[in-house]
């Protein structure tokens, strides 16, 4: 019995020794394979610039690639020195990690900050009064302020006081549910009714007034007067909804221009003309001249655009006479109708009510519907923050009711849906067909969310064959920048260009789009659009591919022989552009350039050779023309890149509200063809 036990113990010891021997052999084998890889990796890391090594020392967790992958990687490009405006590579280990890892995670792996940066000591803002020097000064100031703002955002100091600031702001920005002004109070306020939080669905404004008698004018703009002829009797007034907070440093857009012309119109009849005006560009007017809108014409919330009134011309149409005799012959019961006069009369009191519906504005005078005007500009109801009255009218009182009590821009979280369904897919390893850069403003949370939920759900974007990113500069309100940073980190589709946003510097965002398109995603084509532009991604890509691959291209809604304005807000000095006409350029809401043009723009920007101009679409036309002096460019014009609103079979559709974006996407998915949505 004892011998058998000793034998069992001996066998157990032998097995233990054998297991230990096998473990030691495997360990030595692994070490022999790992040490060369480690030495090669250390050698490659030691060859990096010193500033990158410093960043690596301060950044702990990272993942090594395989030996084969490391051999195939290209070394980072060293940024050029002493360039006033330059597009630089990111000198942080985060960028190196992005370059080395073929598979990117959905979060914390996206390039949030644009490579577009400035060197302050290279700015030369002394002397010179040309447009370029002024733009340099604006850029320098915007960069200095923006850098400080962004440092505060990244430090987290702003969030410590954000609660108190929000509380104070909400108290200051709380808006009344209704506003009442007498005629004298309205006059004291400069004939302007301020609507602090704009309008909302169901809001209405009631005006009690009296038109003045007609007066003589020798050169009225609404009439056709021959030289040397007598004066014309004119009686008209203008009621306008304006976007007082929409723009800074320019005339506010006229969201609704309501112009009753009692006398003096070129037609010789009383008419009501309605229109919109944005950046000095008037849209097509809607004229109500006493004829009821046609039965097959599009309605607004079920209401006709123009009601009928007595035209005072003393004649009836032949159609009306024929219908009258036909009804007499067949014995049809005559339908009782009421003929109304023109709703406004000199020295006669009237009560006008303007209401905001689902699809447009509706005007009732003395309880009767007169006209409806569909929403068709790029503004939402909240943007209508002022009502002005001018012309031949005596205002007795104004009453506005059912107004929103808070502005949506103060509550950005209400527009954002923090769902992984709307997050951007990871960037692909290789080049992409098309990169779409979307210009957006910091507080445009609703617009960005609508784009994410609509055309950014395109199969080409979800599969990463096409990449789309928002390009946003910093906002003057710190809490907006804090929310913007959170939004960028969650959705992964925002590239922040760290300067203080202004219209004159939008051109810098366009350069940033080119930089990202050629260096981050190596796109074949680079497209620029706005956050209120609906894009049919597949159709746009097909349009670009119509040009042979070996040719440089510039595709969009082209303007030829467009003359610069020499006065007003959008004035262009002769120093900025000495010629009498611009080169051909595509309208800003949507255009495409080939990658070689984008690379040329970035390269010239780095060398401080690129001419910067405050109108970014014109700037692109200038750059393409300069590029075409060396390489032939194929210009491709298409009206389907719609500048104003929406047209049939569009490629892009501009001035679309968030609700319209979602509606257009749903129609495109359900019916398989592009259709417009007449709603806000």
The least confident of 16-25, 414-423, 487-496 is 16-25
Residue 11: predicted pLDDT: 57
pLDDT at 101 over 60: no
Residue 275's DSSP bridge partners are: 257
What pLDDT score was predicted for residue 265?
Answer: 86
The answer to whether the CB of 623 falls within 8 A of the CB of 511 is no
Angle between helices 157-173 and 478-491 (to 10 degrees): 120
Give Cβ neighbours of residue 154 (< 8 Å, ≥ 6 apart).
Answer: 485
Q: Are 366 and 351 in contact (CB under 8 A)?
A: yes
**pLDDT for the residue 322:** 62
How many percent of the chain have pLDDT more than 70? Answer: 70
Confidence category of residue 37, pLDDT binned at 50, 70, 90:
very low
For residue 24, with 0-12 CB atoms within 10 Å meaning exposed, 13-18 middle and 19 or more buried, which class applies? exposed
Residue 550, CA atoms < 13 Å, CB-side half-sphere? 0
- pLDDT tens-digit readout, 247-256: 544 578 889 9
Residue 241: pLDDT band (50, 70, 90) is very high
Q: Cβ distance 575 to 601 under 8 Å?
A: no
Does the pLDDT value for residue 173 go beyond 60? no
Length of the chain as a residue count: 680
Which stretches within 463-615 are classed as H helix? 478-491, 506-519, 537-545, 595-606
Q: Is the dihedral of CA 428, 431, 434, 440 positive or negative?
A: positive
Please work out, in degrees rounded to the nearest 5, the angle formed at the alpha carbon of residue 81 by the alpha carbons of 79 and 85. 85
Q: How confident is the model at residue 296 (pLDDT cuts 50, 70, 90)?
A: confident
DSSP string, 165-194: HHHHHHHHH---S-EEEEHHHHHHTTSEEE
Nearest to 508 by CA among 151, 80, 87: 87
Instruction: Confirm or reject CATH 2.60.120.10 for domain 179-311+339-401, answering yes or no.
Output: no
Q: What is the DSSP string of 254-266?
A: EEEEEEEEEE--T
Give the H or E element holding residue 592: strand 585-594
- Dihedral pair phi/psi, residue 596, rounded to 5°: -65, -35
Model confidence band, residue 203 (pLDDT cutoffs 50, 70, 90): very high
Q: Same CATH topology for 138-154+430-671 and 179-311+339-401? A: no
Mean pLDDT score, 382-405: 92
Q: What is the mean pLDDT of residues 413-426?
A: 82
Percent of the chain with pLDDT over 90: 40
Residue 656 pLDDT > 50: yes
What pLDDT does 311 receive?
Answer: 74
pLDDT tens readout for residues 308-334: 998 765 444 444 556 656 666 666 555
pLDDT of amino acid 270: 93
> How many C-beta neighbours within 10 Å does residue 165 have?
14
The sign of the dihedral angle between the CA atoms of 455, 460, 466, 467 is positive
Q: Report residue 299: phi and psi, to 5°.
A: -95, 170
Using alpha carbons, select from 256, 315, 325 the residue that is nearest to residue 290: 315
Q: How far is CA 583 from CA 318, 560, 563, 577, 617, in A?
A: 52, 7, 9, 10, 11
Angle, in degrees to the nearest 10, between helices 595-606 and 616-628:
100
Once rounded to an integer, what is the mean pLDDT over residues 300-315?
A: 80
d(CA 255, CA 50) in angstroms, rounded, equals 56
How does residue 294 score in pLDDT terms, banded at 50, 70 and 90?
A: confident
The pLDDT value given to residue 167: 54
One-character DSSP codes across 330-379: HTPPPPP--PPPPS--TT--EEEEEEE-SSEEEEEETTEEEEEEE--SS-
- The pLDDT score that the predictor gives to residue 280 is 60
pLDDT above 90 for 354 = yes
Q: Which residues of 312-339 are buried (b: 16+ CB within 10 A; e: fewer)?
A: eeeeeeeeeeeeeeeeeeeeeeeeeeee
Q: What pLDDT does 248 receive? A: 47
Rg of the chain over Cα atoms, rounded to whole angstroms, equals: 33
> Would the pLDDT of 536 be above 70?
yes
Strands 386-391 and 232-242: antiparallel
Average pLDDT value for residue range 492-516: 89
pLDDT of residue 89: 36
Which of 43-47, 355-359, 465-469 tops mean pLDDT? 465-469
pLDDT over 60 at 423, yes or no: yes
Residue-level pLDDT at 445: 87
Most confident stretch, 108-122, 205-219, 274-288, 555-569:
205-219
**Domain coordinates in residue numbering, the chain:** 138-154+430-671, 179-311+339-401
Mean pLDDT for 564-585 is 79
List b or e across 226-256, with b for residues whose CB sees 16 or more CB atoms inside 10 angstroms: eeeeeebebbbbbbbbbbbbbeeeeebbbbb
Give the pLDDT band of residue 45 (cuts 50, 70, 90): very low
Residue 380 has what DSSP assignment? -
Q: What local confidence, expressed as pLDDT, does residue 530 receive?
A: 93
Residues 209, 511: Cα–Cα separation, whole Å: 52
Quote the pLDDT of residue 208: 97
Quickly list DSSP for 424-492.
PPPPPSS-EEEEEEEEE-TT-HHHHHHHHHTGGG-HHHHTTSEEEEEEEEE-SSHHHHHHHHHHHHHHS
Q: How confident is the model at residue 584 (pLDDT cuts 50, 70, 90)?
A: very high
Q: Between β-strands 350-356 and 204-211, what pairing exists: parallel, antiparallel or unpaired?
A: antiparallel
Mean pLDDT of 145-150: 77
Query: Would you place residue 577 in the very low, low, confident or very high pLDDT band (cuts 50, 70, 90)?
Result: confident
For residue 539, what are the contacts with CB-CB under 8 A and spacing of at least 6? 651, 674
Asked whether residue 453 carries a pLDDT value surpassing 70, the answer given is yes
* Region for residue 655 given its phi and psi (left: phi exceeds 0; alpha: psi -120 to 50; beta: otherwise): left
Q: What is the average pLDDT across 11-37?
A: 66
CATH architecture of 138-154+430-671: Alpha-Beta Complex (3.90)
Return the pLDDT at 412: 54
């Amino acid at each position: 019995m004892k011998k058998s036990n000793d034998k069992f113990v001996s066998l157990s010891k032998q097995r233990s020794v054998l297991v230990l021997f096998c473990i030691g052999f495997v360990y030595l084998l692994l070490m022999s394979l790992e040490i060369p890889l480690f030495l090669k990796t250390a050698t490659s890391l030691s060859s990096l610039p010193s500033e990158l090594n410093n960043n690596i020392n301060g950044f702990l967790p990272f993942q090594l690639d395989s030996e084969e992958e490391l051999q195939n990687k290209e070394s980072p490009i060293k940024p050029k020195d002493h360039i006033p405006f330059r597009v630089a590579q990111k000198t942080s280990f985060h960028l190196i990690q992005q370059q080395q890892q073929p598979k990117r995670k959905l979060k914390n792996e996206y390039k949030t900050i644009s490579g577009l940066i400035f060197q302050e000591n290279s700015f030369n803002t002394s002397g010179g009064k040309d447009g370029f020097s002024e733009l340099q000064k604006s850029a320098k100031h915007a960069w200095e302020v923006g850098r400080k703002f962004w440092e505060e955002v990244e430090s987290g100091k702003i969030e410590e006081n954000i609660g108190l600031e929000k509380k104070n702001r909400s108290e200051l920005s709380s808006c009344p549910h209704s506003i009442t002004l007498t005629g004298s109070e309205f006059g004291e306020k400069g004939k302007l009714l301020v609507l602090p939080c704009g309008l909302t669905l169901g809001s209405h404004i009631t005006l009690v007034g009296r038109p003045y008698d007609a007066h003589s004018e020798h050169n009225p703009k609404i009439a056709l007067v021959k030289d040397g002829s007598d004066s014309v009797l004119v009686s008209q007034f203008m009621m306008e909804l304006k976007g007082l907070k929409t723009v800074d440093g320019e005339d506010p857009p006229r969201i609704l221009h309501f112009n009753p012309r009692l006398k003096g119109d070129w037609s010789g009849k009383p008419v009501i003309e309605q229109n919109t005006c944005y950046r000095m560009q008037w849209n097509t007017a809607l004229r109500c001249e006493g004829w009821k809108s046609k039965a097959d014409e599009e309605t607004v919330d079920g209401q006709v655009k123009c009601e009928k009134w007595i035209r005072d011309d003393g004649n009836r149409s032949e159609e009306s006479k024929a219908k009258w005799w036909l009804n007499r012959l067949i014995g049809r019961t005559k339908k009782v109708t009421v003929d109304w006069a023109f709703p406004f009369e000199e020295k006669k009191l009237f009560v006008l009510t303007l209401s905001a519906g689902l699809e447009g504005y509706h005007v009732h005078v003395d309880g009767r519907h007169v006209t409806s005007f569909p929403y068709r500009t790029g503004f939402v109801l909240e943007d209508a923050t002022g009502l002005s009255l001018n012309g031949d009218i005596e205002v007795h009182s104004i009453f506005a009711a059912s107004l929103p009590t808070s502005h949506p821009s103060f509550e950005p979280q209400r527009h954002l849906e923090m769902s992984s369904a709307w997050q951007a897919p990871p960037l692909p390893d290789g080049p992409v067909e098309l990169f779409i850069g979307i210009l957006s403003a910091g507080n445009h949370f609703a617009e960005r969310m609508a784009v994410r939920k609509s055309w950014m759900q395109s199969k080409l974007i979800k599969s990463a064959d096409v990449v789309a990113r928002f390009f946003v500069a910093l906002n003057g309100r710190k809490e907006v920048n804090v929310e913007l940073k959170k939004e960028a980190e969650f959705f992964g589709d925002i590239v922040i260009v760290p300067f203080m946003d202004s219209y004159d510097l939008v051109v810098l965002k366009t350069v940033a789009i080119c930089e990202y398109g050629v260096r981050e995603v190596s796109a074949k084509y680079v497209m620029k659009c706005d956050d209120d532009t609906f894009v049919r991604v597949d159709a746009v890509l097909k349009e670009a591919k119509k040009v042979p691959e070996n040719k440089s291209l510039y595709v969009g809604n082209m303007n030829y022989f467009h003359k610069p304005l020499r006065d007003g807000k959008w004035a262009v000095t002769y120093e900025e552009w000495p010629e009498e006409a611009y080169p051909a350029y595509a309208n800003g809401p949507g255009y495409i350039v080939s990658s070689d043009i984008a690379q040329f723009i970035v390269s010239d920007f780095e060398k401080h050779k690129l001419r910067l101009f405050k109108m970014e679409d014109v700037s692109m036309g200038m750059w393409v023309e300069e590029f075409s002096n060396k390489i032939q460019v194929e210009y491709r014009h298409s009206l389907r890149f719609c500048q104003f609103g929406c047209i049939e079979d569009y490629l892009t559709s501009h001035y679309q509200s968030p609700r319209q974006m979602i509606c257009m996407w749903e129609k495109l998915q359900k019916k398989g063809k592009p259709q417009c949505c007449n709603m806000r």
